[in-house]
Amino acid sequence: MVVRGQLSRELIVAAAHDIVANEGLDALSLRRVAKELGVTAPALYGHVHYKADLLRALAELEMARLLRAFERIDATDPLERVRLQARAYIEQALADPALFEVMFLTRPDWANQPTVEELPAATQAFAAGAAAIEAAIAAGQLRDEDPFMISLALWSASHGVASVVLAGINLGDAFTSRLIDVVIDNLLAGFAADH
């Protein structure tokens, strides 16, 4: 049980994270989080305003996790970095499907890209992916095309692979790994500088 003075947004988000990771998104409610923490639901309102606020915080937590995965990639070749980032995105989705779903419950306005203050981790993760693509363009590995468009195309392909595998199609680990490579490699080949 949490003493009310010890209650914090971080503690609430951590409890929500555990519920979603262990039982799925449908199990999440403010009342359920309060029960896990041994407080009443109204005690949460000083830290999270409503369920959508909690979901947004969870999404940011998962985007921060994705950003850390991107930061661990030490490939010096820009195109290899792009490949490994796409793979990291898919692997995170496959490792924690319910948390992956939460990442996209707060949808950015692509026409008016969110600022770092609105969605800091999501903005930084997307920027890290775009930076790798910009480096590949600068190195002459990808066509000199809009990096934002290439980033969205790569994200769409990676998201599609994750969605197909998570749909319950039992492809097996080896086939899934090969599918990831085929989709990423063929998409990047389509944007190759000599294409």
The amino acid that residue 72 corresponds to is R
**Using CA atoms, how far apart are residues 136 and 78, in angstroms rounded to an integer?**
5
Of the candidates 147, 32, 30, which has an alpha carbon nearest to the alpha carbon of residue 78? 147
pLDDT (0 to 100) of residue 194: 79
Q: Residue 67 half-sphere exposure, CB side, CA atoms within 13 Å?
A: 18
The structure's pTM equals 0.85
| Structural domains in the chain plus CATH codes | 4-44 (1.10.10.60), 59-190 (1.10.357.10)
pLDDT (0 to 100) of residue 25: 92
pLDDT (0 to 100) of residue 5: 62
The owner of tokens 């779903």 is: 101
137 neighbors 164 (Cβ within 8 angstroms): no
- Alpha carbon separation from 79 to 91, 92, 179 (Å, rounded): 18, 20, 18
**Tens-digit pLDDT string for the chain (195 aa):** 555 568 999 999 999 999 999 999 999 999 999 999 999 999 998 899 888 889 989 999 999 999 999 999 999 999 999 999 999 999 999 999 999 999 887 655 444 554 445 567 888 888 899 999 999 999 999 999 899 899 999 999 999 999 999 998 778 889 999 999 999 999 999 999 875
